[in-house]
Amino acid sequence: MTSIQNIQVRKIQPMSMTDSLLLFGIPSLWLYFATRFCIYFIHQQLRLPLLVCWFISGVILVFIPLFILSLVFYKMEENAPTFSAFRKRFRLQAMTLSDWLWTVGAILFIGITTTLIIIIAQYFNHSFSISPPFLSAKVLTANEMWILWAWIPLFFFNVFGEEFMWRGYIFPRQELTHGKHTWLIHGLLWLMFHLSFGWNLLLILCPIIFTISYVVQRKHNTWIGILIHGVINGGGFLSLSLGLA
Q: Report pLDDT digits (tens) over 6-18.
A: 556 678 999 999 9
Start-to-end Cα distance in the chain = 44
**Residue 85 located in a structural domain:** no
Nearest CA to 185 out of 201, 209, 220, 205 is that of 209
Nearest CA to 56 out of 70, 29, 37, 71 is that of 37
**Quick one: how far is CA 174 from the chain centroid?**
17
Q: Choose between 7 and 172: higher pLDDT.
A: 172
Look at residue 157 and tell me whether its pLDDT is greater than 70. Answer: yes
Q: Are 2 and 84 in contact (CB under 8 A)?
A: yes
Number of domains in the chain: 1
pLDDT tens digits, one per residue of 59-115: 999 999 999 999 999 999 998 889 999 999 999 999 999 999 999 999 999 999 999
* Domain span holding position 34: 15-77+113-241
**Residue 69 located in a structural domain:** yes
Nearest CA to 162 out of 130, 194, 114, 135 is that of 194
**Quick one: how far is CA 86 from the chain centroid?**
19
Supply the pTM of this predicted model.
0.93
**Residue 165 located in a structural domain:** yes
The predicted structure's pLDDT at residue 206: 97
Nearest CA to 240 out of 136, 149, 159, 109 is that of 136
Please report which confidence band the pLDDT of residue 129 belongs to, taking 50, 70 and 90 as the band edges. confident
Please report which confidence band the pLDDT of residue 137 belongs to, taking 50, 70 and 90 as the band edges. confident
**Quick one: how far is CA 103 from the chain centroid?**
15
Helix (H, G, I), strand (E, B) or coil at 211: helix
**Residue 95 located in a structural domain:** no
Instruction: Supply φ then ψ for residue 10, to 5 degrees.
Output: -65, 140
**Residue 4 located in a structural domain:** no
